[in-house]
Structure 1
């Protein structure tokens, strides 16, 4: 036994408890033997949970909200051990603590680096609410923008799309353990405000059996509660160049066993979507969002109701020629979500969670008023409702979880189009009017086991079944194997994963895409309906704690699959239809250096670099194939393929007047245009932010912040799969100031 107590933290992708987590504590004493009757105190804010280890030296805390905790372990004859840790939503944390015998030392012992993710089978990053608040305003406008700066290797392509690890349909949102099939990208969703969440966990690989539907990056969010805010709130407002305005307000508290929380936000921007010109022409957008949560907590039961809704209105950018003739097409998006969750603890080792949920989405494409440019007039609406239930049981060295998810989906679509061009471009369809609706759904169930095979080896083993019948019937059984091994004494861990993945087709305008795939005017364009994406996914990696404040991470991935998705635009309408290619291969290598907050210097930082490639293979095998000429077996590059990318962030914070400064840089080697025949130039952009508390009295503070986005004003080129607008441009330099009041 070492003279100083050591801790081995095995983070293992596993069990979901409606955005809550499990802490599995193992305590050993003399000669590494299990230590019974050790007193455990788990602290978060002013709330404490207590436990005592059993004969095997272990104890499990179930139903923990995601966030930062302190764990204190005490036993007769041993020095007290203390640890700080960050619990990820719906991922168990196994903590092994070796206690230091009292006669060996003369002072208490602090356990080293409990929040270092040694042994984690997933590739993930947790952002706490304090970290979200510290980010510059332009980075946290919505979930896709936040993901672009936080996922290693995330790339930005045309029309504000964000892609992770070679997937066109990227990003799936989980809210308190409930997921939806709607695409969160700005073209399809009114969006969510990151600051209204308590934690956001970003997973890019090695998925447990509970996760389904989308695998280009999972954004697992836990909502804020009155029990977190504790009768406090804040109001902030920002104004800047390019019609940039932003406002956010929140307040929450408790009344006995009842907690309540509400937030509202709004924004405007004169550069809303990536335009086809290096200047904004008809590119103004604005949005309004709100959310609220009620919690009722008893000894063994909790009830939670979360609601959120919002809308965005935005202009569709023009090229100079279309601007001159008065093209003025617009888009309006509305969405509303409700989740009611009940959780019951049968015992300290048994937990049951059930959620009822619903979501509505409305999308309106308003046509241009000019008589010359292409005409597009459409709308779509979806209603999703369902029930999700999960059962968790801890038994010896196992944490077994099983669950099901039943979803009902109703779709309505309408669209009219006329290219108004003579002769008709080969990539445009003949003028048409379309209207259709469909009702179907999805049934899923899974079984998974997080098992500690030895003190240094753990595995997440699971099996998932999915059935989907919205437009056609598809099903698949998907095994998931995730293994983590901690190298004894080395403060390093290795992980490996094999996942079979099944992604149902996108919901956005899938009925129109299926119409073209089955009833196009030309027989060669009848390639069939849009199909699900089926993948074999492999990943391996290593995590090394080089210093108590420095963690190094290296991950490699490879996945291949059949019928991958892409989005294809009808003319210049900015209305995107899903299509399938015959196959895809993607591989990459990611490295991360994470510098945790150095109290004496006030500095923290993170460096990320990724090399990745993605190749699609012809022919087009489903959806909107009009004008596409890709031969069977032909290899081509999607527009989001960017071999090299990286981000660097460094933050400085001092207690005196809470002075802060942040520097963020992003590098991209250039995306692929014209199916890979042209590689656009690389780019480097940098952002700067700074803040200071200008007034404080007890719990009341006023703070001023300054943001400088894209310092060099580098409006770099972005590739787009379009004959008419093959190039788009990145955001300009935006200068803004913000005032924030906390109370």
Structure 2
């Protein structure tokens, strides 16, 4: 109770977070006048075909409009007002410094029409690397997700990203190396449904996704970076949204949001909740014991203290409660295993514009996170209880400077995470364990994870060339104490005759180990679990990422993105599982080499049709020996004797194809259809296929190729129908009906044998969604 009170005091004192700390985001400041210099309260539209941004605003009575949180890129700016000639131009956002535009409208002597197209914003000629963008329209019209997965599903729809079981994201073969950046604050712990609650996708305005060409501002978890920009309005008055949805697996969810803007102040709040009987991926088709509920609550306040100073606070609380899916033996024994996650975070951000060419930004966060695992009186083969929690304190300060053709940025950050782990077990079915395995064990420990960094980077515009160069220093202190310096370099060349951007990047990475259960796996108390054991400290991963590619626009309607990449990593991070429990912990192997190609063809608009098709090819191999982690029994013997050779990376799915197209049937209705295909992940299985058949049944085993050690291909077909039920000046209502896995294939995602993490995707399912905005 004392810790809770301390945290509440911290939240009240420092209040909490904002989105003004986003890395590759800028803003536009407009001053709109008539020929005499008098202010005009005009309508403003900003749109970008390249990143899916399209919003309308209204300047205030002083003719002033400030539009924050614009992802870097090219935007079509259109201004209109009765009695004046419409104004349109393309503006480029490439810096955290505000872009100031003084627009003087001319009187309309005749009827004038301005033809605006997205041709000039399909690509960003000044982007030094590839970034995948998901705009608000894509978020609102997304394929439905089970509660707790809406953001992960959006990320997984992009080329280069793969799921393993329970919505654990793996970018380009990386294991547990994804960081989510929520309103400028990095969250580096595992954010999958079984580890932590998520922010609901309806709460987001846009997403930016990196798998290469990382700014030096990012570090620690470098498999992939996902920037999440929460929603806000700039127009005065009360605005809101209500979303209701439901469907198969007894799923139902709701989301509500309110925001009020007056003068220089903005206050907002949101809440969401959901329930389902398919929270995690079940291990057998029967979907035993798989209910879950989620909730998310947030509030924020923002004020422009002066034209050059902005202060914002926010607080967010998230929770999830769920059951762990049973296998057949566990269901027959009557096992009920529960899990839950609770998280509360607060963020504060301050921004000061020193001059038109420089600004400083300060951000801070405090966060409490707790997760539990416990069973009823019938667990099989082991009764495991876990209570882990951590408290995190984060600070970041940056300075940005525009000088000529250069955009400088430098900063420091500090992250202190105070880990607490508690674990106990009692074996209930000794036949599944070695004779020398202790019947019970209790473990408790705590330790701080202290990490600091500093960086400097420069974005240079040299005609048709753009160069992003940066240098980052990291310090990591948990079980080990290490430092690293990481250079980053991205170069692009715009070819106007082909409307193409060629780019190449090099990223030196320093990835800290996952801290989930790292204390128990490194404790000598675990030696009692087996006479044969091997324990090695898990070193941070170090490596080099290379990428080359192009972005090209065709016929003012289509955009093609192609990337070739290679990742060479030493001390390659992976994970293992403690006995037959759900407790996973980090391990490492000598090295990995992962390479591949990705492409995405986007049809922005061709008449009434738009959509995309993407393809990914990836090959991943990991080399022995093991270099870090805990290994028991036969695994320890294998680790000590297997000193060379390699094996496929667990995310080595060679071919992945995704597509979705939408057709506007009539003005207020559209139809969409798509498909996801995967050639199947590799698996290791040391048991008898006959035992697997008896445990999982012929339907699951038919999807497994034991000879190749591969899961057979996955395929899921989806379709959606959207209708604008009501579209008024202030209120809009949109209804959407969706069907997923319409082909009803049993898609086995992972296969690992008895009590070891099978994962089966949802069967044919349907959903309904009603969205009301005002």
- Do the structures match in fold with TM over 0.5? yes
Cross-structure match for 1:163: 170
What is the deviation of 1:127? 1.6
Equivalent position to 1:680, from 693, 703, 711:
711
1:662 counterpart = 2:663: no
Cross-structure match for 1:35: none
Q: Where in structure 2 are there 5+ consecutive unaligned residues?
A: 1-19, 30-43, 47-54, 61-65, 80-84, 102-111, 686-705
1:142 counterpart = 2:146: no
Note if contact 1:172-1:219 (Cα within 8 Å) is conserved in structure 2: yes
Note if contact 1:155-1:162 (Cα within 8 Å) is conserved in structure 2: yes
Note if contact 1:612-1:642 (Cα within 8 Å) is conserved in structure 2: yes
Equivalent position to 1:494, from 499, 502, 509:
502
Q: For the residues of structure 1 that align with 2:26 and 2:200, how far apart are their CA atoms?
A: 27
Provide, for residues 371-390 of structure 1, a one-character-per-residue CA deviation record: whole Å limited to 9, x for no partner.
Answer: 64211101100111121011
Deviates more, 1:458-467 or 1:616-625: 616-625
Within a 5 Å distance, the mapping from 1:112-261 to structure 2 comes to 112-118=119-125, 120-138=127-145, 141-142=148-149, 145-227=152-234, 231-261=238-268
Equivalent position to 1:434, from 431, 437, 443:
443
State the TM-score, normalizing by the size of structure 1.
0.85
Provide, for residues 409-434 of structure 1, a one-character-per-residue CA deviation record: whole Å limited to 9, x for no partner.
Answer: 10000001234343553699644211
Within a 5 Å distance, the mapping from 1:583-602 to structure 2 comes to 583-598=591-606, 600-601=607-608
Please give the root-mean-square deviation of Cα atoms over the aligned residues, in Å.
3.2
Note if contact 2:520-2:526 (Cα within 8 Å) is conserved in structure 1: no
Cross-structure match for 1:739: 770
What is the deviation of 1:307? 1.8
User: In the superposition, relative to structure 1, how do residues 547 and 149 fare at CA in structure 2: closer, same or farther (>3 Å)?
Assistant: farther
Q: For the residues of structure 2 that align with 1:91 and 1:588, how far apart are their CA atoms?
A: 36
Note if contact 1:23-1:92 (Cα within 8 Å) is conserved in structure 2: yes
Cross-structure match for 1:18: 22
Cross-structure match for 2:725: 694
What is the deviation of 1:580? 1.2
User: In the superposition, relative to structure 1, how do residues 732 and 280 fare at CA in structure 2: closer, same or farther (>3 Å)?
Assistant: same
1:367 counterpart = 2:375: yes
Cross-structure match for 1:100: none
Q: For the residues of structure 2 that align with 1:649 and 1:294, how far apart are their CA atoms?
A: 38
Note if contact 1:388-1:404 (Cα within 8 Å) is conserved in structure 2: yes
Equivalent position to 2:647, from 626, 636, 661:
636
Note if contact 1:410-1:438 (Cα within 8 Å) is conserved in structure 2: yes
Provide, for residues 638-697 of structure 1, a one-character-per-residue CA deviation record: whole Å limited to 9, x for no partner.
Answer: 3322111121011234673x3132223111001101079601100210111212233455
1:618 counterpart = 2:629: no
Provide, for residues 425-463 of structure 1, a one-character-per-residue CA deviation record: whole Å limited to 9, x for no partner.
Answer: 3699644211000023111000000012x3111110010
What is the deviation of 1:405? 0.3
1:704 counterpart = 2:735: yes
1:408 counterpart = 2:416: yes
What is the deviation of 1:144? 5.3
Equivalent position to 2:577, from 569, 572, 587:
569
Describe the SS at the equivalent of 1:338.
strand
Note if contact 1:460-1:483 (Cα within 8 Å) is conserved in structure 2: yes
Cross-structure match for 1:387: 395
Q: For the residues of structure 2 that align with 1:415 and 1:470, how far apart are their CA atoms?
A: 20
Q: Where in structure 1 are there 5+ consecutive unaligned residues?
A: 1-15, 26-40, 50-60, 74-78, 96-105
Q: For the residues of structure 2 that align with 1:245 and 1:427, how far apart are their CA atoms?
A: 47
User: In the superposition, relative to structure 1, how do residues 473 and 720 fare at CA in structure 2: closer, same or farther (>3 Å)?
Assistant: farther
What is the deviation of 1:139? 7.3
Q: For the residues of structure 1 that align with 2:390 and 2:435, how far apart are their CA atoms?
A: 28
Cross-structure match for 1:346: 354
Describe the SS at the equivalent of 1:379.
strand
User: In the superposition, relative to structure 1, how do residues 330 and 161 fare at CA in structure 2: closer, same or farther (>3 Å)?
Assistant: same
Cross-structure match for 1:32: none
What is the deviation of 1:468? 1.1
